[in-house]
Copies of this chain bind each other. A is one copy, B any other.
Amino acid sequence: LDISDLKRKSLLNYKPYTYGEQPDPNEKWIKLNTNENAYQPPQIVLDEIKAAVNEKLRLYPDPTCLELRKLLLSKYFVQYNEMIKLDNLIVANGSDEVIDILFKAFIDSGDIVVFFNPSYGMYPVVADLYGAKSQIIELTDRFEIPEGIDQVKGKMMIICSPNNPSGMSVPNSIIESICKKFPGLVVVDEAYEDFSSTTAISLISKYKNLAVMRTFSKGFCLASERIGILVANSQIVQFMMDVKLPYNVSYLSQVSANASLKHIEIFKEMHKEIIAERAKVTNGMRKLKLEVLPSDANFILVKLPSAEIAMKFFTECKVNKILIRQYNKKELLPYLRISIGKPEENVILLKVFQETAKKVMK
């Protein structure tokens, strides 16, 4: 018996997801490569989580995340209370599991799933795992969705907005035109929406094939606790509830998200600060004659004159204990993606960029 023979035949050409580099936590790095929130959760949130570390740990967590969904309605989606109810919400073990559950509920082997390039790397990975046919649509040179998108057919389309890695939002006019014509589910992944002024949420009541994803990993400083949310028509949510693993979100993860929502006003201030820092870093880069895409996220995408120069900036940052993201995909070689850090981190970053620019740009 050869164990390799037991592996799924349909996975013979499968390529696993590649993580962003995680440095040794005992070394002091400025970590701007995986778009985590620069700030730790507020002390009051940490205190409330600590207070919940008690005898309940022995019990199974709530399979429906009821308290969290109630808080989402009363604190996070307040302005949409007319259209979003409890049965329009499902919670999962991070956005990654939301995507997994979407495939489990809606994608049979051979179904066509549409997404864009470049975008979040998990979409094609999950598509392969569920035997879907990936139809990948190339974004324009300006990272925009190309003309004619409303002619595309498929069972599901995933739109990341603000997109990773460009940081640019997709206008609701484009999402509307897709929802009207697309014969399947239209999923808008709004992982970075807390740093943006655009959202497709208001379209949910108008288009029953629309689903919107959110996460606590970026806006709520909770990447560790894996909280992903999906908002959609109650029928979509019910199908997903039926197929998800029963106890998919741990008790302390639910507690962490609940505590965060109770103090959402602190996070709103934090988002304003991050947006202000994003403007500072963007301006600093532009002063160096670097092109920066207009970002709606907690990161920016910077275009260097060449792949070679991009690599020099990346290396120079690493020498200075700053980790940023570079890419191996051909079309992204001259680009660097940089998460927005704390003010003092951003100052150091800009200084390293300044000095490197002097050295390597004519």
Residues of A with Cβ closer than 8 Å to B? 1, 3-4, 6-11, 14, 16-17, 19, 22, 25, 31, 34, 36-41, 46, 49-50, 53-63, 93-94, 96-97, 100, 104-109, 122, 129, 131, 155, 183-185, 208-209, 217, 221-226, 233, 235-236, 239, 241-243, 245-248, 250-253, 256
Query: Which residues of chain B are near A55, meaning CB under 8 Å?
Result: 40
B106 touches A224 (CB 8 A): no
Query: Which residues of chain B are near A223, meaning CB under 8 Å?
Result: 57-61, 247
Query: Which residues of chain B are near A8, meaning CB under 8 Å?
Result: 104-108
Bound Cα distance A252, B223 (Å): 11
Bound Cα distance A282, B248 (Å): 33
Query: Which residues of chain B are near A9, meaning CB under 8 Å?
Result: 108
B57 touches A46 (CB 8 A): yes
Assess A155 versus B6: contact at CB under 8 Å? Given A251-B225, A252-B224. yes
CB distance from A112 to the nearest CB of B (A): 13
Q: A94: which of B3, B208, B209, B247 is its contact (CB, 8 Å)?
A: B247
Instruction: Identify 18 new A-B residue pairs, CB closer than 8 A, beyond the known A36-B60, A252-B252.
Output: A1-B183, A6-B155, A6-B236, A7-B105, A8-B107, A9-B108, A40-B57, A50-B53, A57-B223, A57-B224, A61-B224, A93-B93, A96-B246, A96-B248, A104-B129, A223-B247, A226-B248, A250-B250
Q: List 19 A-B contacts (CB under 8 A).
A: A1-B208, A6-B155, A6-B209, A6-B236, A8-B105, A16-B242, A40-B55, A40-B58, A46-B53, A46-B57, A50-B53, A57-B221, A57-B224, A58-B222, A59-B224, A94-B245, A109-B109, A129-B243, A225-B251
Q: A250: which of B31, B131, B224 is its contact (CB, 8 Å)?
A: B224
Bound Cα distance A31, B55 (Å): 14
CB distance from A259 to the nearest CB of B (A): 10
B57 touches A222 (CB 8 A): yes
Bound Cα distance A185, B8 (Å): 12
Bound Cα distance A221, B54 (Å): 11
Query: Which residues of chain B are near A236, meaning CB under 8 Å?
Result: 3, 6
Bound Cα distance A9, B107 (Å): 9
Bound Cα distance A63, B17 (Å): 12
B54 touches A40 (CB 8 A): yes
Query: Which residues of chain B are near A93, meaning CB under 8 Å?
Result: 93, 245, 248, 250
B57 touches A225 (CB 8 A): yes
Bound Cα distance A10, B105 (Å): 10
Bound Cα distance A245, B243 (Å): 17
CB distance from A105 to the nearest CB of B (A): 7
CB distance from A44 to the nearest CB of B (A): 12
CB distance from A115 to the nearest CB of B (A): 17
Assess A39 versus B19: contact at CB under 8 Å? Given A97-B245, A224-B251. no
Query: Which residues of chain B are near A14, meaning CB under 8 Å?
Result: 242-243
CB distance from A11 to the nearest CB of B (A): 7
CB distance from A340 to the nearest CB of B (A): 13
Bound Cα distance A42, B263 (Å): 30
